[in-house]
Structure 1
Amino acid sequence: MEELYDFMVWGDYDAKIEYLANMTDENWNFHEKTNNLILKNYLKYTTKKLEEENKIMTTDNYCIINTGLFTPYYEPIYIYAEKNLSDSKQDWWFKSFSTSYDLGNLGITELPERANYFQDPSQLVFDVNCKINVQFKHIYDDEDNRNRIPKEIVNSKNIHSIFKGAIDTMVKKVTANYKIAVPQYFNGKIQLLLPLCLVDESIPDLALVVTKVNNVYQGHTCLTMEMAYNNARLIAKPESNWLVP
């Protein structure tokens, strides 16, 4: 599967996604945007993960996908599609976003599981006993990374001192409150996102991505807030107050 959008006939895709966004009662937009880009990204990668885990339920007549999302009443939300009998290249025709009650009314009681992103829950918690090794050369010299750094920092002669100070402060914060570290799923791995406040010590500018390797964390790269939220939202809605859309 390349894209969920191409997996079935949707009709007005944006309208369907807007309906799902309202069904979850969650904010799926960055700042003042209205395109539900976070939700579209979430569905794209969640469906790919479900396909990898062989959790997309298909029969001769219908297809059901567990979105991993919930209504405000904690009811799981499923994508329900029926067999497409037209000449379209897609096998399925989107019918509805449904709860288990809705599907039960159709006589469907066997339902697929959610995507599973981790086997070891300890991966989700920052280990304060592990030091962090940061790949500074990649962060400073890689063009994509440099473009993510605030201009007043990337052009500063003291960029390294600023980063080192922000990392030291972040380590103290996460040591005092382990919930500051937010897990993300990327390229089949669980990593942690850590806030870096470079311009204003109370406002995160970037998220440092770290992966635990034995007894240390390897700091690979930095992400913008939008990139970090998109990756983190695949696992769960971040509860930390520094990573919000």
Structure 2
Amino acid sequence: MIKEKVFLGNREDYNKKLKYLAGLAQEEPWTFKNIEGKDPYRILRNYFHYTYDRLEEEGKIMVSPDGKYSCINTGLLTQYDQEIMAIFSRSEQPRFLPWYLIGFYRDTDRFFKERFTEVPEMADYFDDVNEVIFNRNLRIDMNTNHIIDDNLLRFQQAGYSEPEVIHALLKAAMDKVEKKLRRNFKLALPFYYHNTETDERKIQLLIPLYFPGAPVRLALVLDKVKGGQRDPYYLAITVLPVEWAYMNSRLIVRPDEEWAKIIEDADVDFDKFETVMS
């Protein structure tokens, strides 16, 4: 875990490094409008931390020949398609964390090239590309009562309190999103699910729920079910606040214009929700 291995600096210094990274990388949303003032890099910070953790898990953190530096491939590109590295310096103080974040560098920067002979690999989250692409030929099954009963608090936090109303809204939302998915499969975002208790790992898909007359506040989580007597199908298993959905999926893919608009319009109070990313 990055917080157990790397000293990132105090909040002000770390935000300066994230600001530099945001300016270096190709433009995209790196926070949510309702927290922009107090946390301008919420999405970017989450992306960087979980990317580091995944690269550590995969053994893809590169150490310089002299052992004084390490680096990772952030997976981000500059506007000129240069790869962006995070470089860390080894701590010489035993009581400190082993590494210190120096900053972010292009793969063409002298500071990087003088310390490393090659570009480290990016994080991988899947083996079969078909797992991350929505198959419009598969049906979506949803136990609506189960979804509502297990997630009533999340619906309430998003502004919907009556189960009967939620039931009707879910039906309308599914009718709309299924039409959209038939025309834009990229609307279903891949999400890497890792259950740390059972070590189960799989790709799930996240689709926005368009409730009539309101911004998108929730996303539906789809599991692909294979085997048994039925043909493969998607099973809707839970809902997530749309902010969580976006941050989860951003680890794998940069969402398209439709999702960028969803995030721009998102108005949920992010800090009301219990965290699922710990």
TM range (shorter): 0.7 to 0.9
Q: Does 1:44 align with 2:44?
A: no
Unaligned runs of 5+ in 1: none
Q: Does 1:195 align with 2:195?
A: no
Provide the residue aligned with 1:15 in structure 2: 16
Provide the residue aligned with 1:80 in structure 2: 87
Separation of aligned partners in 2, 1:146 and 1:210: 17
State whether residues 154 and 241 of structure 2, in contact with CA within 8 Å, keep that contact through their aligned partners in structure 1.
Answer: no
Q: Does 1:125 align with 2:133?
A: yes
Q: 5 Å matches for 1:1-245?
A: 1=1, 4-11=2-9, 12-24=13-25, 25-32=27-34, 33-34=36-37, 35=39, 36-59=41-64, 60-102=67-109, 103-142=111-150, 143-151=152-160, 154-155=161-162, 157-187=164-194, 188-200=201-213, 203-214=215-226, 215-242=232-259, 243-245=262-264
Separation of aligned partners in 1, 2:7 and 2:143: 44
User: Once the 2 structures are TM-superposed, how far is the Cα of residue 50 of structure 1 from its aligned partner?
Assistant: 0.6
User: Once the 2 structures are TM-superposed, how far is the Cα of residue 110 of structure 1 from its aligned partner?
Assistant: 2.0
Cα gap change, 1:148 to 1:223, in 2 (>3 Å): farther
User: Once the 2 structures are TM-superposed, how far is the Cα of residue 137 of structure 1 from its aligned partner?
Assistant: 3.5
User: Once the 2 structures are TM-superposed, how far is the Cα of residue 107 of structure 1 from its aligned partner?
Assistant: 4.5
Separation of aligned partners in 2, 1:159 and 1:27: 29
User: Once the 2 structures are TM-superposed, how far is the Cα of residue 97 of structure 1 from its aligned partner?
Assistant: 0.7
Q: TM-score, normalization: structure 1?
A: 0.88
Moved more, 87-96 or 65-74: 87-96
User: Once the 2 structures are TM-superposed, how far is the Cα of residue 235 of structure 1 from its aligned partner?
Assistant: 0.8
User: Once the 2 structures are TM-superposed, how far is the Cα of residue 113 of structure 1 from its aligned partner?
Assistant: 0.3
RMSD: 2.1
> What amino acid is the match of 1:117?
Y
State whether residues 205 and 221 of structure 2, in contact with CA within 8 Å, keep that contact through their aligned partners in structure 1.
Answer: yes
Q: TM-score, normalization: structure 2?
A: 0.78
> What amino acid is the match of 1:224?
P
Secondary structure of residue in 1 paired with 2:253: coil
Separation of aligned partners in 2, 1:16 and 1:228: 25
Separation of aligned partners in 1, 2:217 and 2:115: 50
Q: Residue by residue, what CA displacement relative to the aligned partner does 1:18-76 show, whole Å, maximum 9, x if unpaired?
A: 22122213320101514201111111111111111110112421111111111111111
Unaligned runs of 5+ in 2: 195-200, 227-231, 265-278
